[in-house]
Structure 1
Amino acid sequence: MSLARFLIKRLLQGVFVVWGVITVVFGLRVIAPGDPANVLLPPDVAPEVRRQVVADLGLDEPLYVQYWEFISGMAVETPLGLYRLATGRPGGDFGLGLSLTSQTPVVDRVARSLPATLELAIMATIVAVVIAIPLGVISATNRHSAPDYGATLFSLAGISTPNFWLGVMLIIVLSVQLNLFPTSQRAIGIPGVVDLLVAGQLGAAGDGFLTWLWYITLPAVTLGTYFTALITRLTRSGMLDELGKTYVRASRAKGLPESLVRYKHVLRNTLIPIITVVGLQLGTLIGGAVITEFVFDWPGLGQVLINSINSRDWPMVQGSLIVISVGFVVVNIVVDTLYTFVNPRVGFD
């Protein structure tokens, strides 16, 4: 199977996955307690006004009519919105409509929050991979020694530590007591740094990047700790499995340097499951950064999702969850494509 056919097949599968997520989210809106009309109206509003608002929102229609209007609206508006986005034209709400609380387009609010969440998820992944893979290699190549026991203890501590508790502890120790990092917020994002670079302000762009790094360090470490422990254990087990195979003994018998055997042959053959977990966890981090964003007041999609759930702003909840599901689909397609580059024996079939 060619790369083009593979991508088309996976994209079609992704459409069905997103459709399933949309259906589940619509069902949650129906069974969840609370009336969206209460978000827009005061408690003492006249009954006729409430009925009019419910009718304007389409909540007086049968459920199958509401569902069909929602699905058909997205099916029509999504290609149009993508076309406008690709051509740089304004407009297009992808069928999500307006937020009930702010009366602004859901797409605009999600688009403003998504870069912060992507920055946090990608940075947490980088922290995890940079620490975990070397630690896993050291642990596997020094089995039943002090480095191996230390890596195992670190992994158990990382997997067992709740993110919200770790974030609070890091804030208390490193931010409040030692004043090494800020406690919360995001002073500047990568889009802002890119804008400074485009404007030719290299010094300001460098300072902005350092400021961004200063603000994102604690949230990224908090979010990536569990991920680091997981990758460490996976790398160690994969390395131990590969080190016992015949080709490793044959490579050593040929006189190849031990570093070449470990990193070019053994580690490369271990990367397939690592890439799988990294890809799946990256999608999980995009959707699972909610608690970390809340602890550090990080202005990402998690904050939007929590506030929208608390205020029963269902258009915003639907938009946030749809973006998260699309992120999962895209990451899985990228991971499956990377398999063939890491191991050419893996085809697109």
Structure 2
Amino acid sequence: MSLARFLIKRLLQGVFVVWGVVTIVFGLRVIAPGDPANVLLPPDVGPEVRQQVIADLGLDQPLYVQYWEFVSGIALGVPEGLFNIATGQPVGGLGLGTSLTTGTSVASRVGRSLPATLELAIMATVVAVVIAIPLGVISATNRYSVPDYGATLFSLAGISTPNFWLGVMLIIVLAVQLDLFPTSQRAIGIPGVVDLLVSGQLVAAAEGFRTWLWYITLPAITLGTYFTALITRLTRSGMLDELGKTYVRASRAKGLPDALVRYKHVLRNTLIPIITVVGLQLGTLIGGAVITEFVFDWPGLGQVLINSINSRDWPMVQGSLIVIAVGFVVVNIVVDTLYTLVNPRVGFD
């Protein structure tokens, strides 16, 4: 199977996955307690006004009609049954509708928050991979030695440490007491750095990138610690399995340098499960950075999702979950494509 056919097949499968998520999200909105009209109206409003708002939201329609309008609105990019609180006019964005609490486009709000979450998730992944793979290799090639015991202890501590506690401790020690990093917020993002770079402000872009690194370091370490420990253990176990195979002994018998055998052959054959876990965990980090974003007041999608759940802003909740689901699908397609680059024996079939 060619790469093009493989991508088309996976994209079609991804469409069905996203459709399933959309259906589940719609079902959660239906069975969840509370009335969306309560978000828009004061408690003492009259029944006529309440019924009018429910009708404007389309909640008086049969469930199959609501479901069709919801799915078709997402598929066609047409807002259905939602309106701006201030103007009373329909407002949409990519068919995700309008926030019940702010009257702004869900797509624009999610779009403003998504870059911060992606930056945090990708940076946490980079931190994990850069630290974990060399640590796992050192641990596997020095089995039952001090480096091995140290890496094992680090992995155990990383997996056992709650990230919210680690985030608070990093803030207290490194930000408050030592004043090495900021305690919270995000002064500038990668899109801002790129804008400065495109406009030719090279010095300002370099300073902006340094500021971005300064602000994202503690959140990335907090979010990536568990991931680092997981990849370290996975790399160590995979390396140990590969080091005991016949081709390794044959390569060494031929006189190949140990570093060449270790990194070009053994580590490369270990990367398949690592890539799988990295891809799955990256998707998890995109949707699961809620606690870290809350601790560091990071303006990402996690905070938007939690605030929307607390305020019963279902259009915003639905839009956030759909974007996260699409992220999972895209990451999985990329991971499956990378398999063939790492191991040519893995085909697209």
| Common fold: TM-score over 0.5 | yes
Verify: 1:318 aligned to 2:304, yes or no: no
SS of structure 2 residue aligned to 1:184: coil
What is the CA–CA distance in structure 2 between the aligned matches of 1:188 and 1:128, rounded to whole Å?
23
Aligned to 2:195: 195
Aligned to 1:83: none
Verify: 1:41 aligned to 2:12, yes or no: no
Amino acid at match of 1:303: Q
The 4+ residue runs of structure 1 with deviation greater than 6 A are none
What's the CA shift for 1:283? Answer: 0.4
CA RMSD for the aligned pairs?
1.0
Aligned to 1:331: 331
What is the CA–CA distance in structure 2 between the aligned matches of 1:324 and 1:71, rounded to whole Å?
17
CA deviation profile, 1:237-257 (whole Å, cap 9, x unmatched)? 000000000110111111111
What's the CA shift for 1:92? Answer: 6.5
CA deviation profile, 1:138-158 (whole Å, cap 9, x unmatched)? 000000011001100100111
Structure 2 stretches of 5 or more lacking a match? 79-90
Aligned to 2:18: 18
What's the CA shift for 1:94? Answer: 2.1
CA contact (8 A) 2:308 2:317 kept: yes
What is the CA–CA distance in structure 1 between the aligned matches of 2:226 and 2:58, rounded to whole Å?
43
What is the CA–CA distance in structure 2 between the aligned matches of 1:333 and 1:126, rounded to whole Å?
19
Amino acid at match of 1:243: L
CA contact (8 A) 2:97 2:315 kept: yes
CA deviation profile, 1:211-245 (whole Å, cap 9, x unmatched)? 00000000000000000000000000000000000
What is the CA–CA distance in structure 1 between the aligned matches of 2:332 and 2:149, rounded to whole Å?
33
Aligned to 1:215: 215
Amino acid at match of 2:94: F
Aligned to 1:295: 295
What is the CA–CA distance in structure 2 between the aligned matches of 1:239 and 1:283, rounded to whole Å?
25
What is the CA–CA distance in structure 1 between the aligned matches of 2:35 and 2:153, rounded to whole Å?
49
Aligned to 1:262: 262
Aligned to 2:112: 112
Aligned to 1:151: 151
SS of structure 2 residue aligned to 1:298: coil
What is the CA–CA distance in structure 1 between the aligned matches of 2:184 and 2:73, rounded to whole Å?
38
Aligned to 1:68: 68
Amino acid at match of 1:218: L
What's the CA shift for 1:136? Answer: 0.1
TM-score w.r.t. the length of structure 1 is 0.95
What is the CA–CA distance in structure 1 between the aligned matches of 2:297 and 2:28, rounded to whole Å?
27
CA deviation profile, 1:76-127 (whole Å, cap 9, x unmatched)? 228xxxxxxxxxxxx9622211110110111000110000000000000000
Alignment map for 1:97-246 (pairs within 5 Å):
97-246=97-246
What is the CA–CA distance in structure 1 between the aligned matches of 2:308 and 2:92, rounded to whole Å?
21
What is the CA–CA distance in structure 2 between the aligned matches of 1:277 and 1:111, rounded to whole Å?
27
What is the CA–CA distance in structure 2 between the aligned matches of 1:326 and 1:318, rounded to whole Å?
12
- Identify the structure with bigger relative contact order (alpha carbons < 8 Å, sequence gap 6+): 1
TM-score w.r.t. the length of structure 2 is 0.95
Aligned to 1:81: none
What's the CA shift for 1:16? Answer: 0.6
Number of residues of Structure 1 aligned to a counterpart in Structure 2? 337
Amino acid at match of 1:314: W
Structure 1 stretches of 5 or more lacking a match? 79-90
What is the CA–CA distance in structure 1 between the aligned matches of 2:163 and 2:21, rounded to whole Å?
26
Aligned to 1:253: 253
Q: What fraction of aligned residue pairs are identical, expressed as a percent?
A: 89
What is the CA–CA distance in structure 2 between the aligned matches of 1:122 and 1:73, rounded to whole Å?
31
SS of structure 1 residue aligned to 2:77: helix
